[in-house]
Structure 1
């Protein structure tokens, strides 16, 4: 069979072109460190590689969100730890102020210390993250959440929103807590708070309000103990209309109502009243409780009436219960923060494991086997050289060389 010169050149050119294409492809694979240069090289592999890459990218975003949540919760925990220390110190000062040997001067010094604690507490409540975003302001994080009022009180001007972060595929987590739920709230199981009316003229002093029957149908309601004389009183609950129950007073004898028990000592006067309310209904504001305590300690009683001394003791008892409830609430929030941080650690571990698995899977799909690739490179080079040399040698063959 005769092969024309043109056909010979065409076939040789096509063969060398094919060899060059194969050589170039293996060179590109080595240069890019992947065996899939275009989706057409391996459509199924390219699809799987894209899915694995998207999974890795998404996991990196979750990791970034977890890092942000960890930082925010860490800042909150540091602030709440300082609040805890302050409240514990305040409770110690309350005990000191209730010492029977304390004088007006002593109580004035304690009030000064409490005022300093009050200012520190307000500063902690307005903590920010270092970038001008306040930790306890809810969604209104651009401005301080607690504002000192002209009358001396503190108003919360933030909201109760929680900024949620997507920390995993199906998990959103609050990166902070609002200030009202921390500084102006009490837990549902917090104890009752008893207060005495500012207009009391007797020397009645109350002790702790304890729960004796939580199944009582009136448990959880508010109650008022109103003295109609030095030895008689009525107990009025918060029903509508209220239920009024009469009783006879004996100093030191427990008074029971609504599953509760309270012991009064001293001599209440006609018209005196005492109120017992759940912690949530007793204005659970630690700033207000602390401010009332400071005011009570600044009021001189050494040369005052027995009624004034009784008011001081009652004020100390009320402040102690309110701030104990506040401390318990802060500790509960801190526990929640710690649980979230622990969960983030677990999610980080799971995320790292998932990321490693995805990267290993992606590597199996697209990473190049360098030993095999270099071997193929040399084979293609040799094949191309052989094709070129064969073309050169065959091109020299002609009948004219034999004439």
Structure 2
């Protein structure tokens, strides 16, 4: 009987020793695998909680890398858009310098035609810059989304230039920035937002001068965007010797409304008179010179910067004398 107990005890000890050796061999193998891989958790079964945390970290790192690549692409696009705006500013400055030179009284009509041709080339370059695309073919100034060429024109319809897209600027987030800039706010004008008007004077002979200053918005909330005409009449001698008087009428050519005549009291006949016009809702400007009966000043809202450039080119090209050229230069 004692021999049987001894054999059972010895067999049990043998089995326990084998299990311990196997367990330690497995642990040693796992430790060696951890040392070789440099990881504490090699399989999900090693530590399910740590494995889940590691998986979330891997996904988070992958998402961050994706966001970094997208951010780099957006940063490059914005850098290109800013470069395009910088190029446009440089071209506009060149346009401005040429325009100012066209107002010289010493120039002949042929000289002004030459300058107008140069201005035409600059305007075409500015439009090309405004429609510039990034390396992926996306317009840099496409705002919230636009056609491949956001700025269309010159068109035969009204307005002569249009923005083929959705105006606005995408907001930045914690991990992204806009991939495009709002070209509509950069190049397009809105009467209520910008109050930009272009004033043109009827043909004035060489022995007289009549020009206007730039139309200035004084209250954009009152600007209607309508077209206006100012016509002079009853120009003649004033009540005092050596003075003159004039009357002008403001007509809203969009609605047909005609304002009451405004009389300019006695002013020196031998000097240009400055007439402050403040009858137009939300707008004001000055008329300077020597008005005569029938002189007309037309005003219309400018839909875009390109329209302003085209108007300056047209009026400089067709200017018969320095008065018309000076007026065109003053409105550019």
Q: TM-score, structure 1 length as denominator? A: 0.63
CA contact (8 A) 2:161 2:304 kept: no
Once residues 158 and 192 of structure 1 are traced to their aligned partners in structure 2, the CA distance between those partners, rounded to angstroms, is 21
More helix by share: 1
Once residues 59 and 287 of structure 2 are traced to their aligned partners in structure 1, the CA distance between those partners, rounded to angstroms, is 70
Which structure has the larger Rg? Answer: 1
Note the aligned Cα RMSD (angstroms).
3.7
Q: CA deviation at 1:199?
A: 7.3
CA contact (8 A) 1:62 1:166 kept: no
More strand by share: 2
Deviations 1:266-314 (A, max 9, x none): 343444433456xxxx123222222222222222525xxxxxx543332
Q: 2:330 maps to what in 1?
A: 317
CA contact (8 A) 1:183 1:286 kept: yes
Q: 2:27 maps to what in 1?
A: 22
Q: 1:266 maps to what in 2?
A: 289
Distance 1:243 1:156, change over 3 A: closer
3-state DSSP class of the match of 1:244?
coil
Q: 1:295 maps to what in 2?
A: 314
Q: 2:200 maps to what in 1?
A: 196
Q: 2:189 maps to what in 1?
A: 185
Distance 1:187 1:90, change over 3 A: farther
3-state DSSP class of the match of 2:149?
coil
| Aligned positions, number | 303
Of residues 147, 164, 178, the one that matches 1:158 is 164
Q: 1 or 2 for the larger relative contact order (CA 8 Å, sep ≥6)?
A: 1
3-state DSSP class of the match of 1:144?
strand
Distance 1:128 1:284, change over 3 A: same
CA contact (8 A) 1:234 1:246 kept: yes
Query: Do residues 73 (structure 1) and 78 (structure 2) align?
Result: yes
Once residues 54 and 10 of structure 1 are traced to their aligned partners in structure 2, the CA distance between those partners, rounded to angstroms, is 45
Q: 2:223 maps to what in 1?
A: 220
Point out where structure 1 has 5 or more consecutive residues left out of the alignment: 303-308, 321-403
Distance 1:208 1:162, change over 3 A: closer
Of residues 14, 28, 31, the one that matches 2:36 is 31
Point out where structure 2 has 5 or more consecutive residues left out of the alignment: 236-245, 268-272
Deviations 1:349-393 (A, max 9, x none): xxxxxxxxxxxxxxxxxxxxxxxxxxxxxxxxxxxxxxxxxxxxx
Q: 2:61 maps to what in 1?
A: 56
Q: 1:2 maps to what in 2?
A: 6
Q: CA deviation at 1:97?
A: 0.9
CA contact (8 A) 1:194 1:274 kept: no
CA contact (8 A) 1:158 1:179 kept: no
